[in-house]
C-alpha cells in the first residue's frame, strides 16, 4: 500500500495542491466549503502531512520541558535562561512550566511525554507524588530534586555551601547563628544546606536555631515570619539563609528595626544569581554554578535520551562570595 | 473508506493491541524486531494515532509561545510567570523562548506556527525583521512591542509613567535630571517613557540629559557606563531610569561614590516587579501592572485565534511607588 501524498488528496478533492497546502497551513483565503471538502478528503484517505509523519515516526519532537516552581524567583529565572541556552546549542527548544500553586500542572506536563509532545523533562520542582515519576525514568533528569532512585540528578554541593557559610559566620565572631530553611517536609538536596550548618555548629558546641520559611508562600508572608523573629529580644548575631530572597528580607528587616549590619548581625544567603549579585552587592552569599547546573542537566538528559549510560548524580562545587553584610563595609 | 484503527494495526501485524499501544507510547519491553514490525504496519496502513489526529484535525495544539529577551531580568521572569498562569486558566500551555543574543531563535519560533506546534505567539521582544511578522498577523499579540500595523499590542501607559516620575523629581526639588533609556534604535513603546520625561522637563524649562544603556548588554557593562556618568563632576540631582535594574545600579554606584541618597541625588526606576519591590524596598519606581498585562495579552490572543474582533491597542495604567530614594528615609 503506497503512502497517500498531498497529490492524492488534491486529485481526489478536485482541487490544486496549493489549495490543500493552504488548508493544511491555514494560510491565504479558502472558502469554508472548500476547506471542508479538503479536510474530508484528508480524513477519508488517512493522509498524514509530512511534518507530522516525520515527527511521529522519528519519535522526536526536539522539545524539552522544564518544570520550575516559578520564574518570578531570581534563581529559577536565571536557571530557565541557561537551560534554554544550553538546549538551543543542541537544536532543542524549551517548554516552561511554572508549577507553583498547582500540582495538577505537573501531572499534565508528565502526560506530554506520553503524547510525544516533548522528548524529555528537566524537573526543578515537584509536587506530584513521586511514584508518578517512576513511569518516565528514562526521560527525566532533575535539578536539586531527588525524584526516584533511577532518575539522574544534578545539584550544587549544598552540604559544603552550608558548612562554608556557617564557618565564615563563626570566623567573623558569631556565636548564636540562626539557620533559615525552606519547608523541611519537601525532600530536596537543599536540606543538606542545613546539615552543613548543623555539623559546623556542633563542632563548635554552639546552639542550633532554625526557622522554616516555605518557598511557595507570598513575599508578604515571608516578611511577616521574619519580622516575628525580631520580636522580643532578637538574640541572633548571625543568619544563614538557605536562599538569597530570605537573606535580603532579613537584611531589610534588621535595618528597619535599627540593627547595625554587620556589627549587630551578619547575614549570608544562598544562590548567588547574577541579578542578586549586581542588584544587592552588599549581600554575602553562597554562589551556585547556575549555568553549569543547567548545562549538566541538559547534556545528561540528551545522553539519556540517546540511551547512553549517564551518572546518577552530579554534584557541582559552590563558592562563598563575601561582602559588607558579613565583613563590614570596605569604605 | 473507514478510518484505520489500532485494532486494524494489531490484526495486520499479528500482535495484540497492547503491543501496538506500547510501541506507540514507547513503554514496557518490546523487542526491536516486534517494534519494527508494528511500525511498518502503521506506516503501511497509514494509521494516525488518536491524539495526533485529534490535534491535527482540530487544528489546535493548545500551546502558546512567549518570546522574551531573557527570564533573567525580573520583569520578564515575572511576566512569564503570569502569562503561564493566565494561559493555564484557559487550558493552554506555555512555550518559552529567551530570544536575547540570538535573532535566529525568533525566526525558528515563528516557524512553530507553521508546523502547528503552537497556536499563537505572544511577543515581548523582537530582533527579527518586522516584515517576518506580517505572515502571522492573526496569530500574534505583542506586549510592549509595535510589530506591524495589524498585530494587537498590550502595553503599560509608558508616557504617563515617564511624566509621573519626572514630575515627582521636580516636585522634590530636582532641577537637573538625567533620563536613562534603552537602545533608542529599538522601536518600542518604552521609548514613550522618555517622551513623558521630555514633556515635563520642557514645561519647566530645565535641561534635557540622556544616557543610553542597551537592554541586552551585560550587567558589568551597564555598571561601567553608569560609573562613567559619575566621572568628572557629577552634576545631576535626579535620575529617572527606564527600568529598575538600571535604577538600582545607579543607586549602588552613587552610594559607592559617597553620594548621599536622596539628599544629593534622587532616583526613580520603572517596572516595579514584586521581587524588586520586596528585595529593594528603598527604590522608588513606576509600577507596571504586570499581571494585568499578561492577562490582557492572553485573552486578546485567544480571542484573536477564535476569529473575534479584538482591540488593536490596550494601554494599562501605571502607578508611582515612592520610597526613601526620593523622599528620604521615613525613620
Q: Following DSSP, what letter does each residue of A17-45 receive, concatenated? A: HHHHHHHHHT-S---HHHHHHHHHHHHHH
* In a domain? residue A88: yes
pLDDT at A1: 44
Task: Say if residue A227 is in the same domain as residue A300.
Answer: no
Q: Using a CB–CB cutoff of 8 Å, tell me whether B29 touches chain A.
A: no
pLDDT at A57: 43
In the numeric block, the cell 522637563 is attached to: B201
CATH number of domain containing A198: 3.40.50.2300
The span from the CA of A189 to the CA of B4, in Å, is 49
* In a domain? residue A123: yes
In the numeric block, the cell 519580622 is attached to: A227
The span from the CA of B283 to the CA of B326, in Å, is 8
Confidence at A129, pLDDT banded by 50, 70, 90:
low
* Residue among A46, A109, A331 minimizing CB distance to B3: A46
The span from the CA of A318 to the CA of A158, in Å, is 8
Best mean pLDDT range from A186-200, A282-296, B30-44, B64-78: A282-296
Task: Say if residue A163 is in the same domain as residue A276.
Answer: yes
Which chain B residue is nearest to residue A38, measuring alpha carbons? B57
pLDDT digits (tens, 9 = 90+) for A7-46: 888 899 998 888 887 777 666 677 888 888 888 888 777 7
- Boundary of a domain, candidates A57, A77, A99: A57
* In a domain? residue A133: yes
Q: Is the peptide bond before A116 cis (omega within 30 degrees of 0)?
A: no
Q: Which of the two residues, B69 and A314, has the higher pLDDT score?
A: A314
Q: Which residues, listed in sequence order, are joined to residue A154 by a DSSP beta bridge?
A: A143, A314
Question: Which DSSP symbol is given to B136?
Answer: G
pLDDT at position A105 over 70: no
Q: Using a CB–CB cutoff of 8 Å, tell me whether B125 touches chain A.
A: no
A25–chain B nearest CA distance, Å: 6
pLDDT digits (tens, 9 = 90+) for B159-217: 999 999 999 999 999 999 999 998 877 778 888 999 999 999 999 999 999 999 988 88
Task: Say if residue A300 is in the same domain as residue A265.
Answer: no
Task: Say if residue B323 is in the same domain as residue B202.
Answer: yes
| Cell reading at B105 | 531563535
| Cell reading at A203 | 563542632
The mean per-residue pLDDT over the stretch B80-94 comes to 89
| A283-300 b/e (C-beta count within 10 Å ≥ 16 → b) | bbbbbbbbbbbbbbbbbb
* In a domain? residue B83: yes
Pairing of strands B319-321, A313-316: unpaired
* In a domain? residue A304: yes
Task: Say if residue A285 is in the same domain as residue A295.
Answer: no
The span from the CA of B312 to the CA of B331, in Å, is 47
pLDDT digits (tens, 9 = 90+) for A130-156: 677 888 888 999 999 888 889 999 999
CATH number of domain containing B29: 1.10.260.40
The mean per-residue pLDDT over the stretch B38-51 comes to 74
Task: Say if residue A271 is in the same domain as residue A199.
Answer: yes
Taking each helix axis from N to C end, the angle separating A158-171 and A191-203, rounded to the nearest 10 degrees, works out to: 40
Q: How many CA atoms lie within 13 A of A70 on its CB side?
A: 18
Q: Which residues, listed in sequence order, are joined to residue A322 by a DSSP beta bridge?
A: none
Q: Which of the two residues, B208 and B98, has the higher pLDDT score?
A: B208
Task: Say if residue B29 is in the same domain as residue B152.
Answer: no
**Best A36, A46, A106, A245 residue to mutate vs chain B (most B CBs within 10 Å):** A46
The span from the CA of B273 to the CA of B245, in Å, is 11
Residues of B in contact with A78 (CB under 8 A): 71-72
* In a domain? residue A53: yes
Task: Say if residue A194 is in the same domain as residue A151.
Answer: no
Task: Say if residue B203 is in the same domain as residue B181.
Answer: yes
What is the ipTM for the molecules in this complex?
0.76
pLDDT digits (tens, 9 = 90+) for B101-119: 566 667 777 776 666 678 8
pLDDT at B133: 81
| Cell reading at B74 | 525580573
Task: Say if residue B171 is in the same domain as residue B118.
Answer: no
- Strands (DSSP E) contained in chain B are 63-68, 93-98, 120-123, 140-143, 153-156, 177-181, 209-212, 238-241, 266-271, 284-287, 313-316, 319-321
pLDDT digits (tens, 9 = 90+) for A188-227: 888 899 999 999 999 999 999 999 998 888 899 999 999 9
Residues of B in contact with A223 (CB under 8 A): 278
Q: Which domain holds residue B91?
A: 63-156+290-316
| Cell reading at A279 | 542588584
* In a domain? residue B1: no
Task: Say if residue B53 is in the same domain as residue B73.
Answer: no
Task: Say if residue B50 is in the same domain as residue B14.
Answer: yes
Q: How many CA atoms lie within 13 A of B103 on its CB side?
A: 7
Structural domains counted in chain A = 3
Q: Using a CB–CB cutoff of 8 Å, tell me whether B223 touches chain A.
A: yes
Q: Using a CB–CB cutoff of 8 Å, tell me whether A32 touches chain B.
A: no
* In a domain? residue A1: no
Amino acid at each position: 500500500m503506497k503512502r497517500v501524498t498531498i497529490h492524492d488528496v488534491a486529485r481526489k478533492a478536485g482541487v490544486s495542491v496549493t489549495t490543500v497546502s493552504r488548508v493544511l497551513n491555514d494560510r491565504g483565503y479558502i472558502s469554508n466549503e472548500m476547506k471542508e471538502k479538503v479536510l474530508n478528503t484528508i480524513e477519508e484517505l488517512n493522509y498524514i502531512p509530512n511534518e507530522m509523519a516525520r515527527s511521529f515516526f522519528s519519535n522526536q519532537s526536539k522539545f524539552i520541558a522544564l518544570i520550575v516552581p516559578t520564574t518570578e524567583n531570581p534563581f529559577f529565572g536565571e536557571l530557565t535562561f541557561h537551560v534554554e541556552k544550553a538546549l538551543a546549542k543542541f537544536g532543542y527548544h524549551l517548554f516552561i512550566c511554572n508549577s507553583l500553586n498547582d500540582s495538577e500542572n505537573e501531572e499534565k506536563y508528565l502526560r506530554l511525554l506520553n503524547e510525544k509532545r516533548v522528548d524529555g523533562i528537566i524537573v526543578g520542582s515537584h509536587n506530584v507524588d513521586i511514584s508518578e515519576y517512576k513511569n518516565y525514568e528514562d526521560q527525566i533528569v532533575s535539578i536539586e530534586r531527588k525524584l526516584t532512585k533511577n532518575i539522574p540528578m544534578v545539584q550544587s554541593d549544598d552540604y559544603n555551601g552550608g558548612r562554608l557559610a556557617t564557618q565564615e559566620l563563626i570566623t567573623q565572631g558569631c556565636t548564636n547563628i540562626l539557620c533559615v530553611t525552606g519547608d523541611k517536609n519537601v525532600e530536596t538536596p537543599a536540606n543538606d544546606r542545613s546539615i552543613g550548618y548543623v555539623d559546623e555548629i556542633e563542632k563548635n558546641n554552639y546552639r542550633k536555631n532554625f526557622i522554616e520559611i516555605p518557598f511557595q508562600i507570598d513575599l508578604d508572608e515571608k516578611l511577616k515570619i521574619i519580622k516575628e523573629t525580631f520580636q522580643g529580644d532578637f538574640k541572633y548575631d548571625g543568619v544563614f539563609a538557605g536562599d538569597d530572597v530570605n537573606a535580603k528580607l532579613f537584611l531589610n528587616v534588621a535595618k528597619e528595626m535599627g540593627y547595625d549590619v554587620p556589627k549587630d548581625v551578619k547575614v549570608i544567603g544562598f544562590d548567588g544569581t547574577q541579578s542578586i549579585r549586581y542588584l544587592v552587592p552588599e549581600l554575602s552569599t553562597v554562589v551556585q554554578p547556575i549555568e553549569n547546573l543547567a548545562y549538566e542537566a541538559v547534556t545528561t538528559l540528551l545522553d539519556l535520551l540517546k540511551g547512553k549510560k549517564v551518572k546518577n548524580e552530579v554534584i557541582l562545587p559552590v563558592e562563598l562570595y563575601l561582602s559588607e553584610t558579613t565583613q563590614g563595609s570596605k569604605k
